[in-house]
Amino acid sequence: MIIIKTRMLGLIRGRMMSVMAGRVLTALPRSKARLLTSHPSQHLHSASSSCQKCELTSKRYNVQRGKFSAVSEHDLKFFQELLGSHRTVLGEEELEGHNTDWLRTVRGASSVLLKPKTTEEVSAILSYCDQHQLAVCPQGGNTGLVGGSVPVFDEVIVSTALMNQVESVDTWSGVVTCQAGCVLEALDQHVAQYGLMIPLDLGAKGSCHIGGNVSTNAGGLRLLRYGSLHGSVLGVEAVLASGEVVDCMSAMKKDNTGYDLKHLFIGSEGTLGLVTKVAINCPPRPAAVSLAFLGLQSFDNVLKTFKAAKDQLGEILSSCEFIDQSSMECVEGNLKIKSPLDEYPYYMLLETSGSNGDHDEEKLNNFLESTLGSGLVSDGTVATEPSKMANIWALRERIAEALILDGYTYKYDISLPLPHFYKLVEDMREHLGSNVVRCCGYGHVGDGNLHLNFTSRQYEKEILERIEPAVYEWTSQVNGSISAEHGLGFKKRNYIHYSKSLGAINLMKQMKKLMDPNGILNPYKVLPD
Ligand code: FAD
Ligand code: MLT
Ligand code: ZN
């Protein structure tokens, strides 16, 4: 058997779809699933200060609406004829979850959400919108963290929620081909049947779509081992603003036939085309996984431990994550999850994956013995049981959720040279002082990716102005990137120049003009005003 043609797992999908529209949560009994079961937005929605809607983005950020048409009765008739009324969703309440982001920090005012099932339907929608000058916001699982996934004004939302078919799994090459709306976790479970895994894992896996992952070039917890989606994605099918379908669906590992256009859609956040299908190279699922959880006294020790892990664990190291004390206090305090270690200023998660459990465990134990012995690591525990590993992972993966419970989160996702990694947190903590409830740092230290977060009880413009552009200036001075993995979306687009040259920005604008001459695809996102 080489290629297994199959369809998306209806069971998982069915269970997911039973939850509130636009807030698709998984019912799978895993830590990541549980994370999203107690979805913060839902929590706020039902329990908090009586679910106050966040301010409209256009008002909070004083945005000028582009010269787009407003959706008319005539337009609705076209959409309803194409998709039926069931897949043409109207009404403020029905659209609320799709107009507001996961963080509940930005809100649009779209009046229509479309749910195509096929590439042809997407093509018909975009072609119509382009001809009628209607702006469009592509939406996957709406877990994006930079305000890219929701409209700013009244853009038509085109959701991939019903584009969830797996087309094939090639078990010789390990390539899965599927539609863009497959939920990451469901897709991973699907390929698990063939001993494969999706080379991407993130806390939002129970809700985010693979098309959303590709469109944001999501990084996640195992980029250290499997690299970025620019390497793992072999093929992309996308629909341009004009409705033209661009088929770059190669499933070959090697294909040097001219410009590799698929890369334009990876990470362009729905501004150049709507991704409808992808082909992904899936590595073998590891037979053995172990997780070490460490407590450390200094950030210098964190860096030295990472270096020692690379040297001593080598090819079995699959994740290297970092949590500071303030983040740990947040996740323990706000979500009541208990850490197995006492209090330390810094914590690390080191995961190993391989084909021989005994060999990996021995290596990990030797590593722990040597780092504990030398004093680099102050305390540590190793878990191999799935439930124990899940509990430790929850401490890391649920920080974003825990932070939201403070009130409002100001979220930064920075790439930094490692020697500067934690200095940014310290400097910003001093800069913000008691103006914020919390200033904390965590993230993918193995990839040089810091998640720097501040919280306050509610949104305060003065706090935002104290953070921005200071945080971007700091980052730029050490040649870091102001967006490591979340993208620019709406919130960061005007700061792009801190990480990209004028020449590069101009070329991006020219590409946008070429591929979307009327600018209907995700306006107000990625490119600066
Ligand atoms: P959406 O949020 O729906 O959309 C994101 C962007 O992509 C938008 O600009 C949207 O317009 C565009 N888009 C979506 N689908 C398509 C499509 N088919 N074609 C064209 N454009 C499209 N991100 C990381 O990188 N690493 C992490 O570790 C990580 N962890 C997270 C943990 C939590 C708890 C949460 C809530 C988010 C996390 N994220 C992380 C951010 C987010 O999950 C990712 O950006 C994810 O890839 C978004 O996928 P989505 O389907 O939800 O896309
Ligand atoms: C993570 O790694 O946890 C995510 O990118 C989300 C966040 O930055 O909070
Ligand atoms: Zn992250």
The edge-to-edge listing of strands for the beta sheet with 233-239 is 3-5, 166-170, 175-179, 274-281, 233-239, 245-248
Domain limits, the chain: 25-41+163-281, 57-159, 286-399
Q: Class of 286-399 per CATH?
A: alpha beta
Yes or no: is domain 25-41+163-281 CATH 3.10.50.30? no
What does residue 423 show for φ and ψ, rounded to 5 degrees? -60, -35
| Backbone angles phi and psi of 441, in degrees to 5 | -135, 135
What would the pLDDT profile of 268-277 be if each residue is shown by its tens digit?
999 999 999 9
The architecture in CATH of the region 57-159 reads 2-Layer Sandwich (3.30)
Cβ < 6 A, ligand 1 pocket: 102, 137-145, 148-149, 160, 180, 202-204, 208-209, 211-213, 215-216, 218-220, 269-270, 274-275, 400, 485-486, 489, 522, 525
Ligand nearest to the CA of 399: 2
Ligand nearest to the CA of 219: 1
Ligand 2 pocket residue status of 401, Cβ below 6 Å: no
Paired strand residues for 290: 352
In contact, 485 and 220? CB cutoff 8 Å: yes
Task: Ligand 2 pocket test: pick from 399, 405, 447 the residue with the most ligand atoms within 8 Å of its Cβ.
Answer: 399
Instruction: Read off the amino acid at residue 44.
Output: L
Per residue in 195-222, pLDDT tens?
999 999 999 999 999 999 999 999 999 9
| CA 380 – ligand 3 centroid, Å | 23
Predicted confidence pLDDT, tens digits, the chain (529 residues): 344 444 443 223 222 222 222 222 222 222 322 222 223 333 222 223 335 789 999 999 999 999 999 999 999 999 999 999 999 999 999 999 999 999 999 999 999 999 999 999 999 999 999 999 999 999 999 999 999 999 999 999 999 999 999 999 999 999 999 999 999 999 999 999 999 999 999 999 999 999 999 999 999 999 999 999 999 999 999 999 999 999 999 999 999 999 999 999 999 999 999 999 999 999 999 999 999 999 999 999 999 999 999 999 999 999 999 999 999 999 999 999 999 999 999 999 999 999 999 999 999 999 999 999 999 999 999 999 999 999 999 999 999 999 999 999 999 999 999 999 999 999 999 999 999 999 999 999 999 999 999 999 999 999 999 999 999 999 999 999 999 999 999 999 999 999 999 999 999 999 999 999 999 999 999 999 9
Say whether the peptide bond before residue 284 is cis (omega within 30 degrees of 0). Answer: no
